[in-house]
Amino acid sequence: MIDPERLKLEFLTLAQINSPSRREKSLAQHLVATFEALGGECVFDHSTVYTESEAGNLLVKIPGTSGTPPVLLSAHLDTIEPTPQVRPVVEEDLIRNEKPGLVGADDKSGIALIIEVVRALKESQVPHPPLELVFTTCEEIGLLGARYLDYKLLEARWGLVLDAEDPRRVVVRAPEAVKFSLRLLGRAAHAGLEPEKGLNAIKLVAEALIRLPSGRIDPETTLNFGLIKGGKATNIVPEEVVLEGEIRSHNLQKLEELWQEIQGVFAEITREKGPDGRPCFEARREELFPYFHVPEGHPLLQLLAQAGRRIGLELEFAKSEGGSDANLFHRHGITCVILGTGMRRVHSPEEYLVLEDFFLSARLVYEFLVLAAQNPLQGL
């Protein structure tokens, strides 16, 4: 069974290992020693070529005792910023840093939880499926570890990502997100001597923004214009403006329609061109993360709900508006959901870990794996 005191001490140890994005090696080496002592087979992939991290993603295989298909458990190694001076302190029912700052709950709570679950399974000798543990790098800077993970090293077709707040609220759906850039070219001219010869790119972009929606478009979709750059001097009619933003949606058709609307408005305001072909614009977009959705009634959710009931917990299946490694796992055929670990106020100086939720999440994962040995999810 889960040992709360041991779990707490494990987190306190991990919290003091500095592991910002691209500098996860020390933490990864600590995990190798930990899991090899527990009988795990550890391997690093070659994602460093793409992520530029000092370590690859760490994959650990724990042999099963039930002859059932493997289950993936995942957490990310990196923190949003360095934590060299972290001093975690326990205050009754939570853990926070001694001074304002990150304590590493995102996502060292997920890592500690996985370690404790493996230890508890070993000690109890209860039948459990083979485990494939994935500890990704560079999650905080664009999900790079999961994006460039060597998926050929994995057999699991379903699993759990430990990287959210409340363990009672299971994330089963997250949007697709795209980042876009619009470059509009007007015509430069002296603003005092001959402004008539110019085409003010800033004014043209402003006209486009007035016509376009922004913010929450509907319950499934958001649009944000986040960066704008243009102009060289107050006495020059600005020739060029670059506008950057992002679209997120749980409906891929709506996302595509909104992108077409944006381009259509820019095409309209640059329709009347001079001999030099100005004004004109070019549009680019790139994916930030893909959409995923585990539908109601899916066997994975049924098994997780059953595990929750075994510990007196009624789970809520909810959607998120952010991206995580789970989005990328789904793209590669691994059906998974995101579980909370008790972390709160992440990415802020007030970050802390709620111990009751931390322990509850560990018990939930443990019971889930025990049930998975009895009720294997075949064919996923």
Catalytically active residues, by annotation: 78, 139
The 3-state secondary structure of the chain reads CCCHHHHHHHHHHHHCCCCECCCCHHHHHHHHHHHHHCCCEEEECCCHHHHCCCCCCEEEEECCCCCCCCEEEEEECCECCCCCCCCEEEECCEEEECCCCCCCHHHHHHHHHHHHHHHHHHHHCCCCCCEEEEEECCHHHCCHHHHCCCHHHCCCCEEEEEEECCCCEEEEEECEEEEEEEEEECECCECCCCHHHCECHHHHHHHHHHHCCCEEEECCEEEEEEEEEECCCCCECCCEEEEEEEEEECCHHHHHHHHHHHHHHHHHHCCCCCCCCCCEEEEEEEEEECCEECCCCCHHHHHHHHHHHHCCCCCEEEECCCCCHHHHHHHCCCEEEEEECCEECCCCCCCEEEHHHHHHHHHHHHHHHHHHHHCCCCCC
Distance separating alpha carbons of residues 168 and 308, to the nearest angstrom: 9
